[in-house]
Structure 1
């Protein structure tokens, strides 16, 4: 398995050195893999020390939570392995003053044993030490007692709240009490989309097929409690939240903090979608989300997936969550925006695009154009996966999604916008301009606007008028993008189709047969792009490496031209 490491046996130490270089308030404690706050006051003036840790591989936990207002020290074991008793003991000696230390321990056997023994050693030396164990994994409810559950991402909430309490100068028993209350009002549940791979390992600890996900996983690459079929984000979010809410017995009217945590290989895009769905689910239950965060807070190396943590709040916890900290990984903020939508000034709603009064002539045109456009839309939706695959080989892979959005925009164009050919094309151009980002939107919108202008003086266009509009559309695309036939772009299907349509019409064929020739030319020309070296667009960056598969934009042209074929009348 490819990794950016030097030596698997030295990866933790080298990681800590890299972390410390970025944080002037942090230092490594001698030969121990422990990160501690620098420049602590003399022992008699120190606030309660907060110490946490565990196996490495959960970054940014725990090292990046070291700083005033959060942890005094993070004790880092080898990857997914509890740190030694001596390392924990050294961290206590380095950071605890007269007010003692609170150890925050995730509920794993190795962590409990080593942190517990270190605490006993420190107490025997006269250092006051309390331990708070976090067991927030609700996936194990009904199987084992709460105190036996695993500690996972919700632990970060305990770090933040207890750290802020310690920074206020509260006594050890008070800091421990608020930490325990936080842990008792906390629930977390996660899902893995695949396994993770340890440094030096050849493969992941477990692998999930494309039709599998793992619910209720831990954070050490271990399997979850249930393997099931993939779900949409909102369904999965609801599954996780329902377990958490039931376990915490949350009621309507209560207040919570929400944490959506990535497990190491989940894009921020997906985490934001989950947060959105979680917020809506809690809102439907009349549970008020006072603070919310989405990001990677406690990972499992490179595992794809996420967890959701919900913390029942009171005023004291909320104030401590809001308190400042210098810990680099805590994002701060968390305030919830309850008004996320405003209407852009001077923009008509999409439903009003091209709307016009319908007379008999308008109804006739709308009746012809609407089913043809629906056929185009459904053809593009059916082609999404193929277009995505083709574009991924030579571009950024967004063409399938763009064409699907185009299809959805086409389906949403109201019949009242289709009362004449030029008006229909103009409305389509506006709809696609709004629906498609990237390059496809401007190209199609420009083409349609040019074609609409050409047909503006032809209320009842002939087949040759339509051919002239198509030629104008192709010219507009070339002028806008600077491409020409032979450059391996959408024009390599569109221009041959226009040429064939015009040629067949001028040879005496009716529109239906001429269109069939245009479709054939587009399909064969699109296939021929597989042997072209791209000279325009993003694919041109690949040069000869793009050869071997046809251009996605050209294939899309052939797709919608073919979809229109049954709707082209003979005359």
Structure 2
């Protein structure tokens, strides 16, 4: 398995050195894998030390949360392995002053044993120490006792609350009490979309098929409590939330904070969608979300998936969550935006799509263009997978989805906008401009608008007028993108098609035969792109590596030209 590591046996130490380089307020404690706050006050002046840790592989936990207002020390074991008792004791010695230390422990056997024994040893030396165990995983509710549950991502919220309380110079008993209160009002549940891979391992600890997800997993690559079929984000979010809400006995009118945590390989896009859905679900239940965060706070190496944490709060806990900290990985105050939409000051205008049927001038264009455009739309939808595959080989893989959006936009154009050819093309251009981002939208919109202008003075255009409009469309694409035939783009299909159509008409062929020749020329041009080195667009970054498969944009041109063929007839 490919990893950006040197020697897997040194991965934790080298990681800590890299983390320390980014944070001037932390330092590594001697030969131990411990990050501590730099330049602590004299022991008599120190606040309660907040110490946490556990196995590594959960970054940014725990080292990312070391800093004033949060952790005094993070004790880092090997990957997914509890640190030793001696390491925890060393962290206590290095950071605890006269007010003592609070150890925040995730409820795993190794962590409980090593942190617990270190606490006893420290007490025997006269150092006041309290231990708070976090067991926020609700997935096993009804199966095991509460004290046997795992501690997972919600632990980060306990770190923040306890750290802020310590920074206020509260006593050890007071800091421990508020930390225990937070832990008691906290629930978390996660889902994995696949397994994770330890440094040095050849494969993931477990693997999920494309039609499987794992509900209720821990944070060490262990399996969850149920394997089920994938769900849409909203359904999955609701599944996780229902378990948390029922476990916390959360009621209408209560206040919470929401933490959506990525497990290491989940993009921010997906985490934001989960936060959106979770917020909406809580809002429907009349539960007030006072703060919300989405990001990677406590990971499981490179696992794809997420967890949702809900913490019931009051004014005291909210103030502690809002308090400042220099911890590098804390995202800051999670202020909730309750007004996420504004009315635009300027409305973008375009061709009027609602045209009176009386504007048809008796040519019946709406009845003729409508079925042809529907055929184009359905052809593009049918080709989505093929276009995606082709674009993935030489681009960013979005062409299939773009053409599907184009098809949906075409189907949504009202028949009243198709009463004349120029209005129909202008309406299509506006629809595609709005529906497709990336490069396809501007190219097709520009082409259609140019073609519409060519037909503006031809309410009932002849075949030669359509040919001129097509030529104008091709010219517009070339001018906008700077490409020309031979550069391995959509023009390598469109330009030969235009030339064949014009040539056929000039030689006396009827329009159907001329169009058939255009389709054949486009197919040949698209096939030729498989042997071309791209010189325009994103594929040009690949150079000769793109050779071997045809250009997706050219294949899309063939698709819609061929779809129109049954509707092209001599008049």
**TM-score computed with the length of structure 2 as normaliser:** 0.97
What does residue range 25-36 of structure 1 map to in structure 2 within 5 Å?
Answer: 25-36=25-36
Q: 1:53 touches 1:62 (CA, 8 Å); kept in 2? A: yes
Separation in 2 of the partners of 1:569 and 1:49?
Answer: 84
Residue 357 (structure 1) aligns with: 356
Residue 562 (structure 1) aligns with: 562
Q: 1:362 touches 1:418 (CA, 8 Å); kept in 2? A: no
Q: 1:353 touches 1:431 (CA, 8 Å); kept in 2? A: no
Q: Deviations over 1:157-210 (max 9, x none)?
A: 111111111111111111111111111111111111111111111111111111
Separation in 1 of the partners of 2:516 and 2:375?
Answer: 16
1:399 aligns to 2:399 (yes or no): yes
Separation in 1 of the partners of 2:368 and 2:570?
Answer: 14
Separation in 2 of the partners of 1:321 and 1:11?
Answer: 32
Secondary structure class of the residue paired with 1:139: coil
Separation in 2 of the partners of 1:129 and 1:62?
Answer: 20
Residue 260 (structure 1) aligns with: 260
Residue 278 (structure 1) aligns with: 278
1:230 aligns to 2:230 (yes or no): yes
Residue 409 (structure 2) aligns with: 409
Q: Which deviates further from its counterpart, 55-64 or 515-524?
A: 515-524
Give the superposition deviation at 1:70.
0.5
Residue 422 (structure 2) aligns with: 422
Separation in 2 of the partners of 1:353 and 1:55?
Answer: 63
Separation in 2 of the partners of 1:531 and 1:258?
Answer: 53
In structure 2, do the counterparts of structure 1 residues 83 and 278 end up closer, same or farther at CA, with 3 Å as the change threshold? same
Residue 250 (structure 2) aligns with: 250
In structure 2, do the counterparts of structure 1 residues 369 and 193 end up closer, same or farther at CA, with 3 Å as the change threshold? same
Q: 2:359 touches 2:419 (CA, 8 Å); kept in 1? A: no
Separation in 2 of the partners of 1:378 and 1:347?
Answer: 31
Give the superposition deviation at 1:217.
1.0
Residue 504 (structure 2) aligns with: 504
Residue 492 (structure 1) aligns with: 492
Q: Which deviates further from its counterpart, 502-511 or 106-115?
A: 502-511
Give the superposition deviation at 1:360.
6.7
Separation in 2 of the partners of 1:569 and 1:283?
Answer: 58
**TM-score computed with the length of structure 1 as normaliser:** 0.97
1:203 aligns to 2:218 (yes or no): no
Residue 72 (structure 2) aligns with: 72
In structure 2, do the counterparts of structure 1 residues 407 and 345 end up closer, same or farther at CA, with 3 Å as the change threshold? farther
Q: 2:321 touches 2:333 (CA, 8 Å); kept in 1? A: no
1:306 aligns to 2:306 (yes or no): yes
Residue 551 (structure 1) aligns with: 551
In structure 2, do the counterparts of structure 1 residues 342 and 377 end up closer, same or farther at CA, with 3 Å as the change threshold? farther
Separation in 2 of the partners of 1:548 and 1:345?
Answer: 49
Give the superposition deviation at 1:310.
1.2
Q: Which deviates further from its counterpart, 129-138 or 339-348?
A: 339-348
Separation in 2 of the partners of 1:336 and 1:175?
Answer: 27
Give the superposition deviation at 1:348.
4.6
Separation in 2 of the partners of 1:344 and 1:467?
Answer: 40
Residue 114 (structure 1) aligns with: 114
Q: 1:353 touches 1:413 (CA, 8 Å); kept in 2? A: no
Q: 2:92 touches 2:122 (CA, 8 Å); kept in 1? A: yes
Give the superposition deviation at 1:20.
0.9
Separation in 1 of the partners of 2:297 and 2:353?
Answer: 48
Give the superposition deviation at 1:385.
2.2
What does residue range 121-520 of structure 1 map to in structure 2 within 5 Å?
Answer: 121-348=121-348, 354-359=353-358, 361=360, 364-520=364-520
Give the superposition deviation at 1:527.
2.0
Secondary structure class of the residue paired with 2:469: helix
Q: 2:500 touches 2:521 (CA, 8 Å); kept in 1? A: yes
1:15 aligns to 2:33 (yes or no): no
Q: Deviations over 1:60-104 (max 9, x none)?
A: 000010001110000000000000000001111111111111111
Separation in 2 of the partners of 1:255 and 1:96?
Answer: 34
Separation in 1 of the partners of 2:217 and 2:431?
Answer: 44
Give the superposition deviation at 1:287.
1.7
Give the superposition deviation at 1:284.
1.9
Q: 1:16 touches 1:35 (CA, 8 Å); kept in 2? A: yes
Separation in 1 of the partners of 2:365 and 2:64?
Answer: 64
Give the superposition deviation at 1:372.
2.5
Q: Deviations over 1:327-362 (max 9, x none)?
A: 000010211111112232221589x85332232727
Give the superposition deviation at 1:277.
1.6
Separation in 1 of the partners of 2:137 and 2:180?
Answer: 15
Aligned-residue CA RMSD (Å): 1.7
Separation in 2 of the partners of 1:9 and 1:142?
Answer: 39
Unaligned runs of 5+ in 1: none
Q: Which deviates further from its counterpart, 451-460 or 14-23?
A: 14-23
Secondary structure class of the residue paired with 1:200: coil
Q: Deviations over 1:249-292 (max 9, x none)?
A: 22222221111111111111111111112112222222221111
Unaligned runs of 5+ in 2: none
In structure 2, do the counterparts of structure 1 residues 357 and 494 end up closer, same or farther at CA, with 3 Å as the change threshold? same
Q: 1:353 touches 1:430 (CA, 8 Å); kept in 2? A: no
Give the superposition deviation at 1:481.
1.3
Separation in 2 of the partners of 1:182 and 1:383?
Answer: 53
Separation in 2 of the partners of 1:333 and 1:570?
Answer: 69
Secondary structure class of the residue paired with 1:484: coil
